[in-house]
A and B are shown apart, each in its own frame.
Chain A
Amino acid sequence: MRWRRLAAVLLAGLGLVGLSACGSAGGQAQPKAEAAVADYASYTQVMVFWDPSDSYSNEIIAMPQMYETLLRYDPQTDKFIPVLATSYEKSQDGLTWTFHLRHNVHFHDGSLMTSANVKASIERTMQRGNGAAYIWDAVKSIATPDKYTVVFHLSTPSPIDFAAASPYAAWIFNTAPLKQHGQNWFAKGHEDGTGPYELQSWSNGQPLVLKAFKDYWGGWKGSHYTKLVFQTIQSSSTRAQMLESGQLTFTDFLPFQEIQSLKSDKNLKVVVTPSWQNLMAFFNTKKKPLDNVLVRQALSEAFPYQEVDQDVMHGYATQSRGPVPLGLWGHDPSLKQYHYNLSQAKALLQQAGIKPNTLNLTLTYTAGDDNESNAAALYKASLAQIGVNLTVKPMPWVAQWNLAKATNPAQRQDIFMMYWWPDYANPYSFLFNLFHTEKTVNFNLAYYYNSGFDKLIDQANIDSGVNRSEAVKLYDQAQTMLVQDAPAIFVFDEEHVRVIPKQMHGYYDNPAYTNVVFWYDVTPN
């Protein structure tokens, strides 16, 4: 009978499904795991640039496992940790920097690391000019007097120690495979670094799997993770669930709701660290009436800073003092701030000759970011109270940026909301990129062109390569200028909030290396 056969097929199918559900205890088929495996899930694609010279994106979370830099910066102590360089000196005039390399360091292909490799890596990065290669702009030449000494000769003073500790453009790698397989060898999905972990497997759509490099110079005494998995999971509720069930060890971003619900889990703990990421809203200083400083100051006093910190960021942010975030050198804790004062804002607007309900402004932010969306909504409600009509437009980043660069300035937005974080531990990264005069619009999205400001920070940058305290004085003057001119609302400095397994020890959220976990330094239990 046909239908009996059909029923049999149906039952068999259901049976298979049922079997698979009950097939293994606890609902998960698990192979034996002698290895301690760390599973890091990012909300976006992990390996964007495989090439260590070009790396400038999310692969930062995986690169420090496979590659190393000469130094690593610790903001807590404001000191450099020796990695591939055991010590370094700089000349009095700041134009010569000498690094002494660690002995007996091997690349993953077995070859020994020498000063020639350091010179080749950095020269290739400079020559390609991609990513953050500009950090080496002051380097005139690199000399290698012996196997373990590297000398940088600069054309102007520059903080080379910070450059050497940068998470972008400072990786030391072996260029030998490139001679054999061509310059695109890295980009195809290969690596050859000195780091504690080497590539086990990767392909499109598959997670990145790294395994412990047995000849790592640091050795493997004690308890370490032997395998690392990096995967992409876009859904934050999925990542939160996986943290709870113990499948995930770390994730780079969780919305506050998930954090709230995970806080009480007895197997997890919450780690909060000030980050160097801040949120700013740039006024279009070239458009009327935002070209009037009184108007900008008024709008700065209409922003509900505390409400955003408490209700949107749940206390995991503090109002910024200027563009340099808390914890980065160059930050001035006594810098003036604007405060939420609607009556004063109204008075300033009146003084500027703006009548209530005549001002219409457009604010753009990056679509998909809940915090920006909620902050903008609160700002809109607040501005409505002083008779300013704000239209809020979420846009994909590329579209938002393109609008800001539109050739017809009348088409550009009035207020541009975005985050910034530094490429490396240098306040110049904020001040130069965001407020230095530009010929073509890049990231100075307030279109703030002030030559006095430019001179201050350019000089400070040079000074920072010789005498940091001199540089800090100049940076301070520059920031005071910015607060006075109010080309942007300095909204908040964010804190990183991580949820990790309780038994994970040794994790330090270093703001100089955003979202990076130095897995070698972490003990599984």
Chain B
Amino acid sequence: MIAARRLGSSLRFYLRGNALTSIGIFVIGLFILVALLAPWLAPYPGDALGQVHPSDALLAPSAAHLMGTDQLGRDLFSLVLLGARVSLGAGFVTILFALVIGVTLGLIAGYSGGWLDEVIMRLTDIVLGFPSLLLAVAIAATLGASLDHAVLAIALSWWPWYTRLIRSQVISLRHADYVQAARLSGLGRARILLRHILPNALTPVVVQASMDLGSVILTLAGLSFLGLGAQPPTPEWGLIVADGQNYVLTNWWYVTFPGLAILISVSALNLVGDGLNDLLNRRERGVL
């Protein structure tokens, strides 16, 4: 549609002039590649599946263990590599989940108006005010603590942001000329929604989602910190940092590398999101 065409033509021109976003795309591409190839790249893949080597506990980084080992002798380099698929994958799934719920509700609210809109907006307010941590704990307590359940919990707390965004987009687009035209020509509601409104309304949501991906990864790490997310030996980055907190001042590598991995990947995602934002919202760039 209109947005997609704008994206395509501006993209190459934009990237050439914008170093930061290019770096972001490159880095995140690298991470995704690593995540996909991790089982073959990791020197000790069994360490993420339950193998332990207590005699190698807490070794400093060396040629044999590029990022050192943890208190059970597991190779941190392997764990961080394999953690890429876990953390990035989980983050992606969470956002997807939240998008599906949020966008659907937002579309309905924005387009229908009236009492349906009111109900959905009140629900949004309530869920926004509800401490997401509580939901995560409740789900962990009922269904058991695991990465999947943490993903569910975060998705269920995250969707209201997208509902609000989409709704305001839909409301403003509702009155656009081409939508009026479509309606006058007798097209059904669903068709209008899906083919005309949604693609244009999605733009800010997609941008927001790409920026949120980073926050979600950080939130997953926070839940692991409390023992509510991934369980050992799943190599989730946040979990590794949480496990390493007792060794911060004595074995610096334990916390540093997974923390760096989070920092770099989240930064890259944010740079990409930023770039998308700039790209799709460009007005005529004036210079002061």
Contact = CB atoms under 8 A, between A and B. Distances in A.
A378 B54 contact: yes
Interface in A359-385: 367-368, 370, 373-374, 377-378, 380-381, 384
A260 interface: yes
B249 A396 contact: no
Nearest to B250: A261
A257 interface: yes
Nearest to A381: B52
A394 interface: yes
B72 A237 contact: no
Contacts of B249: 237, 240-241, 261
B55 A381 contact: no
Given A307-B54, A311-B55, A377 B250 contact: no
B72 A374 contact: yes
Interface string B195-238: 00000000000000000000000000000000100011100000
Given A237-B249, A311-B57, A367 B227 contact: yes
A378 B53 CA distance: 9
A255 B246 contact: yes
B227 A396 contact: yes
Interface residues on A, range: 20 to 34
Contacts, number: 58
Contacts of A399: 141
Contacts of B55: 311
Contacts of B72: 374, 377
A311 B56 CA distance: 10
Interface string A230-250: 000001110011000000000
Interface string A284-316: 000000000000000000000001000110000
A257 B58 contact: yes
Contact of B52 (A241, A257, A367, A378): A378
A261 B251 CA distance: 10
Contacts of B51: 381
B50 interface: yes
Given A260-B250, A377-B232, A368 B54 contact: no
Contact of A235 (B52, B245, B250): B245
Contacts of A109: none
A240 B50 CA distance: 30
A378 B50 CA distance: 9
B256 to A, nearest CB: 14
Nearest to B54: A311
A521 interface: no
A380 B57 CA distance: 18
A370 B50 contact: no
B44 interface: no
Contacts of A236: 246
Contacts of A381: 50-52
A380 B72 CA distance: 13
B71 interface: yes
B247 interface: yes
Contact of A257 (B54, B71, B145, B232): B71
B248 interface: yes
A308 to B, nearest CB: 9
A394 B55 CA distance: 24
A312 B73 CA distance: 11
A146 interface: no
Interface in B46-80: 50-52, 54-55, 57-58, 71-72
A394 B57 contact: no
A311 B246 CA distance: 17
Contact of B250 (A258, A312, A370): A258
Contacts of A393: 144, 231
A394 B146 CA distance: 11
Interface string B237-257: 000000001111111000000
A491 B233 CA distance: 23
A370 B54 contact: no
Contacts of A255: 246
A125 to B, nearest CB: 34
Contacts of A235: 245
Contacts of B233: 377
B153 to A, nearest CB: 16
Interface in A258-275: 258, 260-261
A377 B141 contact: no
A368 B247 contact: no
Interface of A: 235-237, 240-241, 255, 257-258, 260-261, 307, 311-312, 367-368, 370, 373-374, 377-378, 380-381, 384, 393-396, 399
7 contacts: A237-B247, A241-B249, A257-B251, A258-B246, A374-B54, A377-B72, A394-B231
Given A237-B246, A260-B250, A399-B141, 17 more contacts: A235-B245, A237-B245, A240-B249, A241-B249, A255-B246, A257-B246, A257-B247, A258-B250, A307-B54, A311-B57, A368-B227, A373-B232, A374-B54, A381-B51, A384-B50, A394-B232, A395-B145
